[in-house]
Amino acid sequence: MTALDHVGLSVSDLDAQAEWYAGALGLKPLEPGGIPAVGLRVVFLVDPDDGWAIELLHRPGSQHPPLATSAPEHVLTQGYGHICLRVDDVDELYDRLVSAGASSIMPPGESPVSGVRMAFVADPEGNFIEMLDRPGPPGTPGSAS
């Protein structure tokens, strides 16, 4: 069996980002850790219901790539591009994240997959978060509402 365990995200302000993700997404922070010899600090934030996690990492001297202003522009930078969350209500989570301080990148609307709604925001450091309401795994069409 293979299952996605967590997504790692390098951030400039570990404490602020941990607080934001915990509050905005209802994630539970675990005991902080890291590798002191290289100055690396780490916090895992776990979804208490489903067990998926975001691992926030901070190492002094890390640098953020240029910030994009749209989803198409964002894919001009190679590497991991965004976190995608499958949700029941795209509009509700989008509104909650924007109210918590996320920047709107793409408001809720129809996705390229028929019957699936999607939206994008950027967290306070500019990292993209996608939301979609697809009922099953990737490749599964949505249901018409």
Q: pLDDT of 42-57, one tens digit each?
A: 999 999 998 899 999 9
**Residue 130 one-letter amino acid:** E
**φ/ψ of residue 74, rounded to 5:** -60, -35
Distance, CA of 26 to CA of 35 (rounded, Å): 26
Task: Output b/e per residue, 72-88; b: 16+ Cβ within 10 A.
Answer: eebeeeeeeebbbebbe
Report whether pLDDT(101) > 50.
Answer: yes
Predicted TM-score (pTM) of the model is 0.87
Which spans in 6-65 are helix H? Answer: 14-25
Structure-model confidence comparison of residues 77 and 3, the more confident one = 77
Domains located in the chain, CATH noted = 6-58 (3.10.180.10), 71-132 (3.10.180.10)
Whether the CB-CB separation of 85 and 129 falls below 8 Å is answered with yes
Which spans in the chain are helix H? Answer: 14-25, 71-74, 90-99
**φ/ψ of residue 107, rounded to 5:** -65, 165
* Cross-strand pairs, 122: 103, 128
Average pLDDT taken over every residue of the chain: 90
pLDDT tens readout for residues 58-75: 999 998 888 888 988 988
